[in-house]
Structure 1
Amino acid sequence: MGIATGTVVAGKVQLDGVALPEGCVVTVLTPDSTGEVFLDAEDEIALLEAVAEAERGETISPEELFARLAKRSKQ
């Protein structure tokens, strides 16, 4: 797995310097309202670990996610 940067052109994402096979499934992370996202090394590792967990099927249901988010917002 890797991380690639691209640009949206005519409604489609064009990756810079990366060729993926036709039909390849990708995940797109969109920036916040400032238009930029910066990860330090620790956050990048955590993100890559989370993506790997999801690829292995180690996920939670949407209901569990929303319950956890609601719990955090009350703290």
Structure 2
Amino acid sequence: MQIATGTVVGGKVIVEGDPLPEGAVVTILAREADETFEVPPELEAELVESIAQAERGETIYAEELLERLRRIA
């Protein structure tokens, strides 16, 4: 699984960063103009760090994540 950000231009999503593979199936979630959410400061810091890790390419495959979750469940 891969997370990408993009912008709609002329009715098409233009992906930022490396292009997705040709034929990739994607799910798009679009924020509403007035949509917001609030989190406690400690969770916000964790989210910001997680986003930074993803932007640096510090990610794992979904299969590895699921295996790790199975071990702690």
Q: TM-score, normalised by structure 1?
A: 0.47
Q: Which has the bigger relative contact order, CA under 8 A and spacing at least 6?
A: 2
